[in-house]
Structure 1
Amino acid sequence: MAVFGGSMSEWVIPFNLVAADPPMSVTQPWERCPNLAFQLLCLRAGIRVSFAPDERTTRGNIMEWATLPFKKYADFTGRSRRKEYWSFVLLNLVCLFAAVFLENILGLSGMVLGFYGPLTVLLWLGFLVPGLAVSVRRLHDTDRSGWWVLLGFVPLLGLVLLVFMVLEGTRGPNAYGEDPKGFDAGSAAAVF
């Protein structure tokens, strides 16, 4: 989301829009806007549209958020939003249910340790490192050390970890980095 001004009053637009300087002409490439009506509106208003995603300000769809931990595979530094963490957890659960279902159909369940199938084990191994990394970054967002993730291995104390994952992150920068929501330290307004 960007703020633009100029001869118009200042507007906040739910896209990454900036004022065109000079206004776009009809001869410029049409691929800047996704559909013709929106393109014509952009040209008429003198607005340049940029769809290049910015990791800090993009809203993205749920699959973009869910796969972001794979792009930051073993990055245990920085902070992650609740949206990134819970989208990844949802993707993990859906994939595990699909693997268990497929193993039951193919008769592969119970081949590993008497309970798990080979697809489930491979999937679990693939999700292990990014899952730990996104959990540590989520704890960093709540201004806690990543070592708190070890509470998940202690019965009943894992509920404390669940509460930490649900809590809103610290606004503004903290000891672990900038706010992933884009809050400025001197401002209470969010980027989105």
Structure 2
Amino acid sequence: MNYVVETFKKYASIKGRARRKEYWYFILFYFIVAFALSFIIQLTGLTILQFLSLILLPPVITVGARRMQDIGKPWWYSLIPIYGFILATKEGDKGSNAYGSDPKAL
């Protein structure tokens, strides 16, 4: 849960790096919330809940960008569907890179 909170703290920042755990825990959290919201929307018909899932979109994009920077790639690589997924599973660079210090070392 700490990784989800940490991602929300960096809500609109693509500076720095994100570990694999931070990225995948937030993606898991996002899919659980999106599934629950879609289920509630189907049951109740409240379309206002669709905006809640849109609120979660910026942190998904920024954590993906920070994940790409952890492996030394530019942020926009997270926008390439299959290649971005493959890169998101790769271990991050050891030590500092152009995007900051190693988050594992902290």
TM-score range, shorter chain: over 0.9
The answer to which structure has the higher strand fraction is: 1
For the residue of structure 2 that corresponds to 1:143, the secondary structure is coil
- CA drift of 1:123 comes to 2.3
Consecutive unaligned residues in structure 2, runs of 5 or more: none
Q: Which runs of 4+ in 1 moved over 2 A?
A: none
Match of 1:145 in 2: 74
- Output the CA distance in 2 between the equivalents of 1:74 and 1:160: 23
For the residue of structure 1 that corresponds to 2:98, the secondary structure is coil
For the residue of structure 2 that corresponds to 1:177, the secondary structure is coil
Match of 2:51 in 1: 122
Match of 1:167 in 2: 90
User: Deviation string for 1:28-80 (max 9, x for gaps)?
Assistant: xxxxxxxxxxxxxxxxxxxxxxxxxxxxxxxxxxx111222111111111000
- Output the CA distance in 2 between the equivalents of 1:144 and 1:75: 16
- Output the CA distance in 1 between the equivalents of 2:30 and 2:5: 10
Aligned residues: 106
**Alignment map for 1:172-187 (pairs within 5 Å):** 172-182=95-105
Identical columns (%): 40
* Amino acid in structure 1 at the alignment position of 2:64: S
- Which of 22, 39, 42 is the matching residue for 1:101? 39
User: Deviation string for 1:116-157 (max 9, x for gaps)?
Assistant: x431x2122211111111111000000000121231xxxxxx
User: Deviation string for 1:11-43 (max 9, x for gaps)?
Assistant: xxxxxxxxxxxxxxxxxxxxxxxxxxxxxxxxx
* Amino acid in structure 2 at the alignment position of 1:164: L
What's the Cα RMSD here?
1.3
The answer to which structure has the higher helix fraction is: 2
Give TM-score scaled by structure 1 length: 0.53
Give TM-score scaled by structure 2 length: 0.92
